Amino acid sequence: MNKFVFFGGKGGVGKTTVSSAYGLKCARDGLETLLVSTDPAHSTSDVFDQQFDDDPEPVEGHENLFAMELDPEEEVQRHMTDIKSTMSDQVSPAIVNEIDRQIELAHRTPGAYEAALFDRFIDVMRSSEEYDRVVFDTSPTGGTLRLLALPEFLESWIERLTAKRTESVDLFEKAAIGDKEARQKLAEDPIIRRLTERKKLFEFAGETLREQSAFYLVLNPDELSIEESHRAVADLTEAGLTVGGLVVNKVAPEPDEGETGTGATYLRERYRTEQDRLARIREEFDQPVVAVIEQRVSEIKGDLLSEVTAELGIETAASPPQA
Ligand SMILES: Nc1ncnc2c1ncn2[C@@H]1O[C@H](COP(=O)(O)OP(=O)(O)OP(=O)(O)O)[C@@H](O)[C@H]1O
Ligand SMILES: [Mg+2]
């Protein structure tokens, strides 16, 4: 199993639950495990009844398990402040306000969340030496997984920007013939330096995601969720990332034979429909179904989490057992 494990899927399918269960499973198998979650609405904090924030903290009552929670809103702010301060060093005071306004607008566009989170994910991946396993519970929009698939695209975008900047610094230099300082400008240009740093970051991300990461999709036995998973598999596969398997969550339990009331009849119908969909999932996807988790009556925490942990057929071993 790879060091970094990502769980993705549509909103509410059970990403946080399954990530927590898998993290717990790794920790119980003796791996130093870090759980990284992003969704403040229902998150690792609720599952373990313990507040987590930006810094990894031990999860009480569970040896080897650590958790951190990223707040997307805060990440967007941080990202914005960071870019503003880099930019304001580069431009004349006269246009600082206009640039700030543009940066603020850019951070209100859809995708800003994911962009900021993506940067934080890279940070976490780079500074996780002390962990054997890092489990990412991705954000509900599905955009994060798509972004994760994009580092190569970002890399080439940055290359183009760098080329443009080099060209303009070069033109500037030609215009300033006789100015002995001009030649130095190219090497020291802060914008080129920044772009080069970003490029290295994306190279690192692409490599780490392709070579050291596993992706699992969580889905429910409903049509929308199945559709979405097909798209996610296609996106990830196209980017050279391997989807290790599917976790089908919230599957209706089968009522006992003898039960005949309206409730039992409804549940039986529903059970059949979902079993058909489950069969379809097994048939349509190349990826194995690694767990089928029944819908419980109450939300998953405490003992219920332990039960779900036991149902997860995802290996934890640092390297797959030799056949
Ligand atoms: N098998 C299950 N049986 C009963 N409740 C479940 C099950 N799996 C998850 N839940 C509950 O469903 C809700 C949503 O689950 P969860 O938060 O894990 O989904 P999510 O995909 O992380 O959602 P979001 O997209 O909002 O981040 C939670 O209240 C959780 O306890
Ligand atoms: Mg969640």
CATH code for the domain in which residue 52 is found: 3.40.50.300
Domain for residue 98, yes or no? Answer: yes
Domain for residue 175, yes or no? Answer: no
Q: pLDDT tens, 49-90?
A: 999 988 999 999 999 999 999 887 787 788 788 877 777 776
- The Cα 200–Cα 75 span in angstroms is 21
Domain for residue 157, yes or no? Answer: no
Name 141's Cβ contacts closer than 8 Å, sequence gap at least 6.
11, 113, 114
- The Cα 52–Cα 49 span in angstroms is 10
User: In this structure, what token pair is assigned to residue 19?
Assistant: 């990530």
Domain for residue 81, yes or no? Answer: yes
The dihedral of CA 194, 197, 201, 206: what is its sign?
positive
pLDDT of res. 162: 78
Contact 135/34 with Cβ under 8 angstroms? yes
CA 49–ligand 2 middle distance (angstroms) = 15
Domain for residue 180, yes or no? Answer: no
Domain for residue 54, yes or no? Answer: yes
pLDDT of res. 229: 93
Domain count, the chain: 1
CA 27–ligand 1 middle distance (angstroms) = 21
Domain for residue 41, yes or no? Answer: yes
CA 13–ligand 1 middle distance (angstroms) = 6
Residue 294 lies in domain: 4-148+207-253+260-311
Domain for residue 122, yes or no? Answer: yes
pLDDT of res. 187: 63
pLDDT of res. 31: 96
- The Cα 232–Cα 209 span in angstroms is 15
pLDDT of res. 180: 56
Calculate the alpha carbon distances from 307 to 25, 98, 163, 196 in Å: 11, 55, 55, 48
Q: Which residues line ligand 1 (CB under 6 A)?
A: 9, 11-17, 39, 41-42, 140, 249-250, 293, 295-296, 299-300
pLDDT of res. 272: 96
Which ranges of the chain have pLDDT less than 70?
39-40, 42, 90-91, 109-111, 139-154, 176-187, 318-323
Residue 308 Cα: closest atom of ligand 1: 1
pLDDT of res. 320: 41
Contact 304/296 with Cβ under 8 angstroms? yes
pLDDT of res. 153: 65
Ligand located closest to 47 CA: 1
